[in-house]
């Protein structure tokens, strides 16, 4: 797989990151280097080997279904740039 200008533009748009031409060029170079490096793994024969999704042998920790009263609104809204009557107020999203 090769990263080109189109791919980098698409990734940038999906990530809501604005890139200028110079930055795009740099990212294309960087990402291709990373992909080349990972590509080395293809040299290993992985036939009949289950994909590994986690290297830890521990199991998923679970919690009991107990709710803690948070009464969180003040704390949660503290850093909001704009709020009203307990809501976050954000630029209008039109659907």
Q: Considering beta carbons, is residue 44 or 70 the nearer one to other proteins?
A: 70
What contacts 89, CB < 8 A, 6 or more positions away? Answer: 80, 82, 83
Contacts of other proteins in 42-61 (CB under 8 A): 53-54, 56, 58-61
Q: Which stretch binds other proteins (CB under 8 A): 1-9, 18-26, 34-42, 78-86?
A: 78-86
Question: Rounded to an integer, what distance in angstroms lies between the CA atom of residue 90 and that of residue 73?
Answer: 16
The pairs formed by 39-48 with CB atoms below 8 angstroms and a separation of 24 or more are none
* Overall residue count recorded for the chain in this entry: 95
Q: Which of 16, 21, 22, 42 is the binder for other proteins (CB under 8 A)?
A: 16
Q: Which of 20, 47, 68, 81 is the binder for other proteins (CB under 8 A)?
A: 68
Q: Considering beta carbons, is residue 45 or 56 the nearer one to other proteins?
A: 56
Q: Which of 1, 14, 41, 44 is the binder for other proteins (CB under 8 A)?
A: 14
**Is the Cβ–Cβ distance between 77 and 86 less than 8 Å?**
yes
């Amino acid at each position: 797989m090769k990263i080109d200008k189109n791919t980098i533009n698409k990734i940038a748009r999906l990530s809501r990151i604005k890139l200028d031409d110079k930055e795009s060029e740099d990212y294309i170079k960087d990402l291709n280097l990373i992909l080349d490096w990972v590509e080395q793994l293809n040299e290993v024969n992985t036939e009949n080997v289950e994909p590994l999704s986690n290297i830890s042998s521990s199991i998923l920790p679970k919690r009991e279904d107990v709710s803690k009263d948070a009464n969180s609104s003040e704390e949660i809204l503290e850093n909001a740039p704009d709020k009203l009557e307990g809501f976050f107020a954000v630029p209008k999203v039109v659907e």
